[in-house]
Amino acid sequence: MIHTLQTQKQNYILYVLAAATFTIFFQLYMVAPLIPSLAVFFDVPEQTIGLIVPAYLIPYGISTLFYGLLADKIGTKRIVLASLCIFIVLTALTSFSQTVPQLMTWRVLTGIGASGIVPMALVWIGQSYSYEERGRPLGWLFGAMAGGSAFGASTGVIIESYIGWRMLFLGVSILALLILIILWRALSNMRDGQIRRQELTLTKVFNGYKALFAGRRGKITYSYVLFNGIFHAGVFTWLGLYFERSFGLSGAAIGFAIMGYGFPGFILGPFIGKLVDKNGRSKLLPIGLAISALSAFVLALNIPLHVATVAVIFLSIGYDLTQPLLAGIVTEVGKERPGQAMSLNVFMLFVGFGLGSYLFGLALQLSLVQALIIFSFVQAALSIIAIRLFKGETNKI
């Protein structure tokens, strides 16, 4: 009976954390498809306004390192609640931007403030579930990321065409406020007693991160988190521009075209998690990387609109079959220092996101098609190499 109640409480907290994660990723992914319309609104080139994406992502990734240190000292609950509060305020302030520099500034600060939520949710999963059981909760969390990505990328730009981008940011802030109230009540009786608090010094901090990279498993996993993030953010950030240039779409039409991105993970996240628990990560990781590479390559071809929308769906599936699996490995690699391990994971992921959007933007100087081909070939190479590197990863420790 006690075990059942504890499980129910764990599930409730998991669902609320997933809702908070959904909101974070909704506002993250709603920005990229707005690049064409924001470029018109502020009367600047698309590549200039496109910098608002890495302006959020890179500070987000860097800040997670510090949140992880704080979590190992004061616990996850305070970090999650404080980070969500900051996110609410700064997202609302973003809607009042009058110039591109102002918009950039608010995006940088929002990235710093919001970066404590997702890594701390991952830490909580690592503390609350055994390694063999983490597939399902990780599936929920990454499903929420995928769902936020899907709705942010598609419905975000659709809603913006009716209410404008300012009201869109305000609406996200209000939604996050409602979730904060629910999350505060859900975490009110949660203890962080399982975290060993200790005095932090620069030496301990450095040695902690060094230890995470000391083993072969850590080096490989974190490297793949980075490279996979570079690929997916690079391709996704510029999908709006892709559909505008390739098919003449704009506004809501772009939203409908990329609506398939994120929905597979949102719907199938828990199922994928169970599949991982059953079959292990060694087989699914290379497959996910290969699907991602093939999807980007298909987009580079002269294809009709309906084929492009299907390719976007498979691009999303490729992400769902890679990043959650890598996070599962990280929870085991860093089980002795969960805060630092997960912060480093999110750092690598979001710095990868930021670099990916920036590097793809640079590759656009060649051409959109060449940029897609370059990214797809690199991802295909990572898939082939992963067959050997991850052959020892199963659902067992």
d(CA 272, CA 177): 30
pLDDT of residue 298: 97
pLDDT of residue 196: 45
Closest-CA residue to 89 (of 180, 21, 184) = 180
pLDDT of residue 20: 92
Residue 178 DSSP SS3: helix
Written as six digits, the tokens of 190 are 């949660």
Residue 134 DSSP SS3: coil
Closest-CA residue to 236 (of 177, 313, 179, 160) = 313
pLDDT of residue 275: 73
Which region among 59-63, 355-359, 365-369 has the lowest average model confidence (pLDDT)?
Answer: 59-63
pLDDT of residue 369: 94
Residues 221/349, Cβ–Cβ less than 8 Å: no
Written as six digits, the tokens of 82 are 């404080």
What percentage of the chain exceeds 70 in pLDDT? Answer: 89
- DSSP conformation class of 301: S
pLDDT of residue 267: 75
Crossing angle of helices 263-279 and 323-333, in 10° steps, is 50
**Once rounded to an integer, what is the mean pLDDT over residues 195-203?**
54
Q: Which residue do the tokens 């690699």 mark? A: 333
Closest-CA residue to 17 (of 156, 168, 190, 169) = 190
In tens, the pLDDT along 362-375 reads 999 899 999 999 99
pLDDT bucket at 100, cuts 50 / 70 / 90: very high
Crossing angle of helices 135-163 and 2-29, in 10° steps, is 40
pLDDT bucket at 99, cuts 50 / 70 / 90: very high
In tens, the pLDDT along 295-342 reads 999 999 999 999 999 999 999 899 988 988 898 888 788 777 776 787
In tens, the pLDDT along 318-327 reads 998 898 889 8
Closest-CA residue to 76 (of 127, 111, 112) = 127
pLDDT of residue 3: 55
Residues 158/32, Cβ–Cβ less than 8 Å: no
pLDDT bucket at 9, cuts 50 / 70 / 90: confident
Q: What are the structural domains of the chain?
A: 2-189+210-389 (1.20.1250.20)
pLDDT of residue 281: 79
d(CA 100, CA 112): 19
d(CA 351, CA 133): 28
pLDDT of residue 199: 53
**Once rounded to an integer, what is the mean pLDDT over residues 254-258?**
87
Residue 389 DSSP SS3: helix
Whether the per-residue pLDDT at 192 is higher than 60: the answer is no
Whether the per-residue pLDDT at 250 is higher than 70: the answer is yes
d(CA 134, CA 99): 44
Closest-CA residue to 379 (of 338, 319, 334) = 319
Pairwise pLDDT comparison (285 vs 64), residue with the higher score: 285
CB atoms within 10 A of CB 8: 10
pLDDT of residue 394: 66
H or E stretch covering 157: helix 135-163
Residues 341/331, Cβ–Cβ less than 8 Å: yes
Which region among 27-41, 142-156, 277-291, 343-357 has the lowest average model confidence (pLDDT)?
Answer: 142-156
Residues 251/356, Cβ–Cβ less than 8 Å: no
Residue 31 DSSP SS3: coil
d(CA 19, CA 22): 5
Residue 189 DSSP SS3: coil
pLDDT of residue 207: 79
What percentage of the chain exceeds 90 in pLDDT? Answer: 37
pLDDT of residue 396: 47
Report the amino acid identity of residue 146: A
**Once rounded to an integer, what is the mean pLDDT over residues 212-238?**
91
d(CA 284, CA 280): 7
Q: Which residue do the tokens 């060993």 mark? A: 196
pLDDT bucket at 68, cuts 50 / 70 / 90: low
Report the amino acid identity of residue 285: L
Residue 386 DSSP SS3: helix
pLDDT of residue 194: 46
pLDDT of residue 254: 87
**Once rounded to an integer, what is the mean pLDDT over residues 59-78?**
78
Q: Which residue do the tokens 């018109």 mark? A: 40
Cα four-point dihedral sign 318, 323, 324, 330: positive
Closest-CA residue to 252 (of 164, 313, 163, 161) = 161
The highest-confidence range among 7-11, 204-208, 351-355, by mean pLDDT, is 351-355
User: Torsions phi, psi of 395, nearest 5?
Assistant: -85, 5
Mean pLDDT of the chain: 85
Written as six digits, the tokens of 10 are 């764990």
